[in-house]
Amino acid sequence: MNIVKARAILSTVLLVVFIGVLFVTVGVLYTTKTGHPFLGMDKNQLFNIRNVLGPLMNALIIVHLGLNWGMYK
């Protein structure tokens, strides 16, 4: 696979995960402040989603930095 394609795919996946993390963070804040479910999900479900998306995003960031290391030299 071409390195440019790999970077494009990785950046797209990273963007989607970032949007998911933002969405879950808003849900956690809303649920914590009001006590009402956020789109049918309670606080525990939102925390479980965040516990999956957080490490996934960290791993993707490490791979992203590795692929773009040449720019940082």
pLDDT in tens, 1-56: 688 888 888 889 999 999 999 999 999 999 989 989 888 888 889 999 999 998 99
Higher pLDDT, 49 or 73: 49
Q: Could you give the angle at which helices 3-34 and 43-67 cross, rounded to 10 degrees? A: 160
Instruction: Identify whether the C-beta of residue 23 lies closer than 8 Å to the C-beta of residue 57.
Output: no
pLDDT at res. 22 = 92
Cα–Cα dist 1/21, whole Å: 28
How confident is residue 69, by pLDDT bands cut at 50, 70 and 90?
confident
Cα–Cα dist 57/63, whole Å: 10
Among 61, 57, 65, 62, which Cα is nearest to 20's? Answer: 57
